[in-house]
Structure 1
Amino acid sequence: MTEKANILDEQAISRAVTRIAHEIIEKNKGIDECILVGIKTRGAVLAERLAEKIEQIEGKPIRTGELDITLYRDDLRLKHDDQEPLVHQVDIQHDVTEMKVILVDDVLYTGRTVRAAMDAVIDLGRPAAIQLAVLVDRGHRELPIRPDFVGKNIPTSSEERVVVNVIEEDGTDSVAIHTK
């Protein structure tokens, strides 16, 4: 894979996180009934950043949690339509019943990871709502899933790959499109 275009740098990612934090607060009329749930690995990092930003704005912390989902089709770089994402670990220490759960992920592509995350949340209780915040929406949905909060829409071809790097995991903040 070679880098085709660098889409977001550190400042652009920071601005996107700030904007999404404000949008979450506005849409939910505060954070009292909200839980941010990050999808590992980079979604969890972004959820923590959102939580810090929301606490700065609101003056109080927002509840958080994490889901670890393995998506075999991405892990193996093969396309097997019968393989689905598997939830490996759920770390949500709060009751989700009647709460607004905001799933956070780095890239929204087919929607299968989000569907698996929604199933995991619903297994814990009946939330009042499940919302979705993503840093990048690249299109190509296979399921009827759309984000409520988007950092950047990046139209891509199915042959391209969106690569998100975060300082906490990769030593740098960036979003780039890579091609084969």
Structure 2
Amino acid sequence: MGTLGLEAGDVKRTLGRMAHEVLENNKGPDNLVVVGVLNSGFPVAKRLAFVMTQIEGTTIPCGSLDIRSFRDDRADGDEAQDQSEIPFAVTGKRVILVDEVLQTGRTVRAAMDALMRHGRPERIQLAVLIDRGGRELPIEANYVGRKLEVADDEYVQVLLGVEDEVRVTKGEAGCSS
């Protein structure tokens, strides 16, 4: 089943710390929006926006970003319909771009390209729950929940739901990028 990287209490405390860091570094919630990368980053983004909303007492807008058409590993002619749901303007906003795991940096590169299609943010800041290392592109997160030492043949799985947890398993159950 894999090694437990973080359990429910750890995830809650980590997201709480990240929320406080984002709010402190941005001097509060004004002009701040959260956008999560579909599919795995969006649940983390929703949770982060919710925690910031609880802290500040004002709603932090949250949307989802479909990056499939911007990935550098998609097949030629593999054009997917944009499934992004961003119910607010990003132009002039401070966007907190959220993904669950940062590894190569390729997902984040695609996400920034996709986000620019929706407008021109004042600033983009990256928040990730897990940084597992292994960068192929010069991309670093502004906000990191936890850094995990993970072997190349291991996969990091973030599960947010009734029981929040982060698991590290052997093999390619998916792609942490």
Shift of 1:70: 4.2
For structure 2, the residue ranges without an aligned partner over 5 or more in a row are 172-177
Separation (CA, whole Å) in 2 of partners of 1:93 and 1:48: 14
Supply the distance in 1 between the matched residues of 2:28 and 2:58 (Cα, whole angstroms): 10
In the alignment of these two chains, the number of paired residues is: 166
CA distance in 2, matches of 1:126, 1:68: 17
Aligned-pair Cα RMSD in Å:
2.1
Among 127, 130, 139, the residue aligned to 1:136: 130
Residue identity matched to 1:44: F
User: How many angstroms does 1:114 deviate by?
Assistant: 0.9
Matches within 5 A, 1:42-53: 42-53=40-51
Q: TM-score, structure 1 length as denominator? A: 0.85
2:60 maps to 62
Which ranges of 4 or more aligned residues in structure 1 deviate by more than 3 Å? 84-88
1:174 aligns with one of 152, 165, 171:
165
SS class of match (2:67) = strand
Query: In the TM superposition, what is the alpha-carbon distance from 1:95 to its structure 2 partner?
Result: 1.4
Report Cα offsets for 1:74-111 as digits up to 9, x if no partner. Answer: xxxxxxxx624987422112111111111111111111
Counterpart-to-counterpart distance in 2, 1:67 and 1:121 = 7
- 1:152 alignment counterpart: 146
Q: Residue 25 of structure 1 corresponds to which residue in structure 2?
A: 23
Q: Give TM-score, length-normalised by structure 2.
A: 0.86
Amino acid at match of 1:174: E
Counterpart Cα distance in 1 of 2:43 and 2:142 = 19
CA distance in 1, matches of 2:130, 2:124: 18
Whole-Å Cα distance in 1 between the matches of residues 25 and 83 of structure 2? 29
Aligned residues: percent identity? 45
CA contact (8 A) 1:90 1:120 kept: no
Hey, what's the Cα distance between the residues in 2 that align with 1:53 and 1:165? 17
The one-letter code sitting in structure 1 at the alignment partner of 2:64 is E
| Structure (1 or 2) with the greater helix fraction | 1
* Secondary structure at 2:18 match in 1: helix
> In the alignment, residue 27 of structure 2 is paired with which amino acid?
K
